[in-house]
Amino acid sequence: MVLLIAAVCFAVLCFNGMGASTSAVAAKAPSNASAPAKITSTANLLISDSGTNLSVMNATFTSPGAFGVAQAVKFTPPKPGWKLEEVVLVGTDGWNSSNKAYPVQGIFGLEIRDANLKLLYQYADTQLEYFTSPTGFRTAKIEVPATPMNGDFYICFYGRDTVRTLTELQDATGNSYYYLRDTAQLLKGGIQLKNNTTLPVNWVIRAVGE
């Protein structure tokens, strides 16, 4: 179902406004009125979606829901040797404060791959610290060892049946894919509609570094 997630702005204003430097991630978020309508990549923040402010982005939360299938986003570093230091994304594990039961622990995975899909780094953890929130969704900031990039690279997120990531439903840039780990294949990112057509989308995953 196509959703306009206006409420996301309360959790992710800093996600929209951290393009100036990596230190801006920890800065106090600006008010909604001061947030730009669109942002673009900078020396410290790489954006492969449309850059639309998340408070007005036409988006929903999705996951492949299958083991070994990742939501992958392609990035181009601004210069040779640019170092990836953090991955930022908005996600949900479906739990919020209205649930009487405690959230169920699950596992997500993260991979960094180069232009030839060679594995550079991988990480896995429970979703509780990163994505579980009383509001129902959360901006996850996943630190990675400083990794130099000398060409295009991919961030691959395995939400499995644990985490669904924010997915932009318009203005597809062509940089979002499904990555099939068993066969090392990239397939264009999209979601199936009721009329059996596929809607191209953007996985809203961003890269921070210098």
- Taking only the tens place, the pLDDT of each residue in 162-205 is 999 999 999 999 999 999 999 999 999 999 999 999 999 999 99
pLDDT in tens, 62-98: 999 888 999 999 999 999 999 999 999 999 999 999 9
Q: What is the mean pLDDT of residues 32-40?
A: 65
What per-residue confidence (pLDDT) applies to 6?
34
| Residue predicted with more confidence, 205 or 31 | 205
Q: Is residue 10 part of a domain?
A: no
Q: Is residue 79 part of a domain?
A: yes
Nearest to 204 by CA among 5, 32, 47, 6: 47
What per-residue confidence (pLDDT) applies to 38?
83
Whether 157 has a pLDDT exceeding 90, the answer reads: yes
pTM > 0.95: no
Opening angle at CA 166, ends 12 and 49, nearest 5: 85
Q: Is residue 1 part of a domain?
A: no
What per-residue confidence (pLDDT) applies to 65?
82
CA-atom Rg of the chain in angstroms = 16
Q: Is residue 15 part of a domain?
A: no
Q: Do 71 and 188 meet the contact criterion of CB atoms below 8 Å apart?
A: no
Count of the separate structural domains present in the chain:
1
Q: What is the mean pLDDT of residues 37-56?
A: 91
Q: Is residue 20 part of a domain?
A: no
| Residue predicted with more confidence, 134 or 10 | 134
Q: Is residue 45 part of a domain?
A: no
| Residue predicted with more confidence, 103 or 1 | 103
Q: Is residue 191 part of a domain?
A: yes
Q: Is residue 68 part of a domain?
A: yes
Q: What is the mean pLDDT of residues 203-209?
A: 98
The whole domain housing 136 covers: 59-209
| End-to-end CA, the chain | 37
CATH number at residue 94: 2.60.120
Q: How far apart are CA 176 and CA 189, in angstroms?
A: 5
